[in-house]
Structure 1
Amino acid sequence: MLSKLKFQTLFTACFLLLTFSNFGQTVTGKILDTKNEPIPFATIQIGEDYGVISNDEGNFNMRVSGFQSTDSVYISCMGYEKLGFQVQEFESKEYVLNDHVNELSEVYVTDRKLEIDSILYYVKTHASKNYRLDQTALKMFGRRTEYVDGKSADFEIEKSSNFKKNQLDAFNKDFDELEQSLLNNESKQYTDMVSTLYIKDSENAKLKVEKAVKLLDETNEQSLEKMTDKGNDIVLKHLDKSKVYTVKSGWFTVSDSVSLDNRSDKVSDSINAVRFVREAAFNMVKEVNPITEEPELDFITDTRKYDYELKGLTFLDTEMVYIIDFKPRRGSANYQGTMYVSNQTFAVLRADYAFYPGRVGEKINLRLILGIKFIENNKAGSVAYKKNSDGYYYPYYIKSESDRYFYINRPIKFIENDNSRNKTAFNFKVEGTFKERTEILMLDVNSVNSAGFEAIQEGKTMDFEKIKKYDASIWQDYNVLEPLQEMKDFKVED
């Protein structure tokens, strides 16, 4: 197969005469500033609705088949001068954007002389005109990266009236291996997916999955579901599967009749359930939509909870944009960051946010009663909005990163129903942090009416294509997010 460089050299003479519609081509490049630093979230676009966005490392990957050689390509980003050229000049290389520097005083050359309170007032009152959620079909590419940072683990048989010493040693040996797997493993899991989220209203949505791919080392998968599954497998390995047990955990009877020989694969079903993925995607879209009842990004409309400062002006193409920093005024506010507001429509075009020091998200602390503790102790993200042909702004790119601390310390006891003197008790203790990063790139936005929504048939489970190393050709028919270098380097050893 010819490399891209050889391919381009071979056909340079024909490039000006032919259109791209006769063959497929992918352009891979990097967006930099004048200091040679990567620019994330830069938009690379052909036409009105076709484009991609650069990743955190400034890299992008874009299909250009189907376009005329004289079609226009534009590269733009908030705060930088727009770069334009023709498709025939679009090649795999580095592209440099110049800073677009403007002082705050330039606000006076416009027809609006606004203070920060007025800007925020218009942001809030224009929200229903600028954003929409219901009767919308969002085709999206999503990528999820997750792994566990294990802090401590201790799984041990405390007593057993059934096991001999060599059996107990074998049991604890298996638990020791599980502990070391959790503490020493640094393997990450990547999930890529193209799907369409059909939204009827704020409560109802359906998801149709077009393609889903997992890149993971299954032997080292560290999700809570898999850790639980591995623990169950160890228990099953050493207990008599022909018996029926009563299971107790702490003060509670979990079940009065558990047959170890007839387990359903509920863990696998939950991981692969379309419902699970749909809820996650729908929640991310609602979190960043200012007109939902309780948006996660409350700094856009709930201005009483935050302090704001107008830091200056910049431009997105020819549109003047206010740069506004925010931080909590009240204890109920969680975020600090920067948002960028259009001077024309007062829509928030982009927001970068993170938990303010000392703030936490969802939490459960039942450590003393149930031996369980869960805290979302770090969350950060970015969202970029783009105006669609219907006049509304939709999230074009969403990124969310979170750290969730967990602590589980549970004694579990298996008691044979036929002979209550036969008991096996062990302790399950694990502590660590789940680290997750989710990105969504909108590929297309359309409307869907009630009849169209009802006609959508959502599947129950989905089949993932599992790969052992990243392969860009898998997504050659789509414009997707260029992976970070760590994902490109990931490889499962045979």
Structure 2
Amino acid sequence: MTTIIKYIITLLAGLLISGMTAQTVSATLIDSKTQAPVPFATIELSENQGVISNEDGIFTITEAQLKKVKDSVYISSMGYERKGILLASLTDSIIQLAPKSFELKGVFLSSNPLSAKEVIEKVKENLDKNYYVQDLSKKKIFFRQSDFNTMKKVDFGFKKSTIEELNKELIDSIATLVPRESSYYREVVGDFYGNYRKHKFHIDKAAELYDKSKDVSVDGLSERLETIFKENVKPDSYLKIKSGLFGTKVQLDSITAANEDANKVKVEVENASEKNYFQQQMKDRISELYTQLFFNEDSKIDILEKSNRYEFEIRDYTFIDQEPVYIIDFLPKGKKDFKGTAYVNTNDFAIVRLEFANVRPLFKFGLLGIRYGEDVYRGKMLFAKNSSGSYSPRYLELENGNYFGVDRPLKVIEKNKHVKGRRKQNELSLALDVQGTSVSKYEMVVFNSEDISSTAYEAASENENIKATYLSKYDPNFWTGHSIMEPNAAIQAFEVVE
């Protein structure tokens, strides 16, 4: 009887696990005390493989990933107890994480404590060892791009036109075509080969989510204006474009020739872009994330390169992936740009997590009614140790934004040198007042990573014919079978209203 009971229990457990591995599982991580979501936690599935919870604490494990899990998954996040969950009991649910109770400060104060400045110097000394830039790897990644544009003011300020069709109604209608708010999302999954300096990207699947009605057609608008000019302007005339004190002369026959050449170039570019434009765009975005890693020479985040221009303070200690870390806050001295927090491993002095934000515009320009500034630059970087012992990115986030404004008069005047007397034939006079902002956010998640040889890197191929699928609303089924970071509430709610 006992043997039969054991057999039944084993059979039921096996069926339960089989049922679990035949579906995708999503869950939400929350703090057991505050009930607040736990973002950017690591859900470890096996060595060098796992997923990360999004900013709302939500994560998903795909069917393919579940099949590779032996018996349990392990969840860890900064400041929380590491939690193991049997695969059989992992269901769509809310998972509570308990804050980790520890007294590290007393331990460090009693054993030759280091100052914040000394810790940062040791970080710099160990950079080459901790972030070995020559390591080649194959990473399964998910990349998301989110763009948000806001036009605060669009006023072309019609003042005068001697061409009947270029009237106030037309100019005002052009202004109304410019969307006041628009958002755009792009998501990509694939295999990323290489290191920080050279890489290949084989894209498996991609999606674009935006409202096509807000995608203003510059080509269509240009054709309409060009037709109006051709019908109302003499062939041997030239245009004088003036804005305030400045003006320039443009020959109409040169415009025609330029348009013909541009059409030829456009055809050639379109033919080339069918194969690799989208692919190259994605590689460029990820390259930008890599370029801005804090240990790269070209990074804007200069807290190590210009460490003498920043103030560092050890605020506390915590655990990340079961390793004790210093929590070090930094602020700029004088005119430096960033504030934030670095989490430094106490054993090997690697920065395993970095959060940063600019405290002043990184660039600004203002002259004669034209304004431009880069006023948003912030992000997060999370690193994990790979099989070779060095650290590589697990999650990267970079958000940058700018503002712009044009408040200037604009005149387009037709003149003809063959006309006797007064040469001015037609005139369009505007008073431009345009203001707006733009913000772009890039996120990259690494789900698993493995070291590869230079031969394997050279043999890796790219999918040059890949194209993004257009979606007019969020579709949770689109990514079935692929590992992604769960979308935030804004993306889930996105839907084009006809």
> Normalised by the size of structure 1, how large is the TM-score?
0.82
Specify the alignment match of 2:146 in structure 1. 145
Structure 2 residue 343 is matched with structure 1 residue 343: no
Q: Which secondary structure state, in structure 1, belongs to the residue aligned with residue 283 of structure 2?
A: helix
1:17–1:275 Cα change, 3 Å: closer
Q: Offset at 1:401? A: 2.1
Q: 5+ residue gaps in structure 1?
A: 1-11
Q: 5+ residue gaps in structure 2?
A: 1-9
Measured in 1, the distance between the counterparts of 2:203 and 2:316 equals: 42
Measured in 2, the distance between the counterparts of 1:19 and 1:417 equals: 83
CA contact (8 A) 1:20 1:68 kept: no
1:475–1:300 Cα change, 3 Å: farther
Within 5 Å, give how 1:280-319 maps onto structure 2: 280-290=285-295, 292-319=296-323
CA contact (8 A) 2:77 2:320 kept: yes
CA contact (8 A) 1:19 1:67 kept: no
1:469–1:416 Cα change, 3 Å: farther
Specify the alignment match of 1:442 in structure 2. 446
CA contact (8 A) 2:140 2:189 kept: yes
Q: Offset at 1:47? A: 0.9
CA RMSD of the aligned region, Å?
A: 3.6
Q: Offset at 1:352? A: 1.2
Measured in 2, the distance between the counterparts of 1:192 and 1:279 equals: 14
CA-to-aligned-CA distance 1:63-93 (integer Å, 9 cap, x gap)? 1435367522111101111110211111111
Specify the alignment match of 1:210 in structure 2. 204
Specify the alignment match of 1:3 in structure 2. none
Residue 486 of structure 1: which of 480, 487, 490 is its match? 490
CA contact (8 A) 1:155 1:426 kept: no
Higher alpha-carbon Rg: 2
1:75–1:240 Cα change, 3 Å: same
Measured in 2, the distance between the counterparts of 1:254 and 1:483 equals: 49
Task: Decide which moves more: 115-124 or 60-69.
Answer: 60-69
Specify the alignment match of 1:471 in structure 2. 475
> Normalised by the size of structure 2, how large is the TM-score?
0.81
Structure 2 residue 209 is matched with structure 1 residue 219: no
Residue type matched to 2:341 in 1?
T
Residue type matched to 2:28 in 1?
K
Measured in 2, the distance between the counterparts of 1:100 and 1:454 equals: 45
Measured in 2, the distance between the counterparts of 1:354 and 1:473 equals: 35
Q: Offset at 1:324? A: 0.7
Residue type matched to 1:58 in 2?
G
Specify the alignment match of 2:222 in structure 1. 232
Specify the alignment match of 1:189 in structure 2. 184
CA contact (8 A) 1:74 1:83 kept: yes
Q: Which secondary structure state, in structure 1, belongs to the residue aligned with residue 88 of structure 2?
A: helix
Q: Which secondary structure state, in structure 2, belongs to the residue aligned with residue 57 of structure 1?
A: coil
1:213–1:127 Cα change, 3 Å: same
Structure 2 residue 161 is matched with structure 1 residue 171: no
1:275–1:414 Cα change, 3 Å: farther
Q: Which secondary structure state, in structure 1, belongs to the residue aligned with residue 344 of structure 2?
A: strand
Within 5 Å, give how 1:308-387 maps onto structure 2: 308-331=312-335, 333-356=336-359, 359-363=360-364, 365=365, 367-368=367-368, 372-387=370-385
CA-to-aligned-CA distance 1:433-492 (integer Å, 9 cap, x gap)? 102222111134345666665666667785220011111221112211111112111111
Specify the alignment match of 1:123 in structure 2. 123
CA contact (8 A) 2:148 2:184 kept: yes
Residue 258 of structure 1: which of 252, 255, 259 is its match? 255
Residue type matched to 2:75 in 1?
I
CA contact (8 A) 2:20 2:88 kept: no
Measured in 1, the distance between the counterparts of 2:192 and 2:248 equals: 40
Measured in 1, the distance between the counterparts of 2:370 and 2:259 equals: 28
Specify the alignment match of 1:9 in structure 2. none
1:444–1:317 Cα change, 3 Å: closer
Residue type matched to 1:61 in 2?
T
Q: Offset at 1:138? A: 4.2
CA-to-aligned-CA distance 1:148-176 (integer Å, 9 cap, x gap)? 12211122555444x22x65244224224
Q: Identity of paired residues, percent?
A: 26
Q: Offset at 1:121? A: 1.7
1:201–1:99 Cα change, 3 Å: closer
Task: Decide which moves more: 232-241 or 208-217.
Answer: 232-241
Specify the alignment match of 1:4 in structure 2. none
CA-to-aligned-CA distance 1:234-272 (integer Å, 9 cap, x gap)? 534644389878664643457762239755459986995
Q: Offset at 1:16? A: 3.0
CA contact (8 A) 1:44 1:53 kept: yes
Measured in 2, the distance between the counterparts of 1:98 and 1:437 equals: 31
Structure 2 residue 39 is matched with structure 1 residue 40: yes
1:155–1:322 Cα change, 3 Å: same
Measured in 2, the distance between the counterparts of 1:444 and 1:255 equals: 58
CA contact (8 A) 1:355 1:380 kept: yes
Measured in 2, the distance between the counterparts of 1:120 and 1:171 equals: 61
Measured in 2, the distance between the counterparts of 1:288 and 1:320 equals: 23
Measured in 1, the distance between the counterparts of 2:11 and 2:367 equals: 71
1:112–1:232 Cα change, 3 Å: farther
Measured in 2, the distance between the counterparts of 1:301 and 1:96 equals: 40
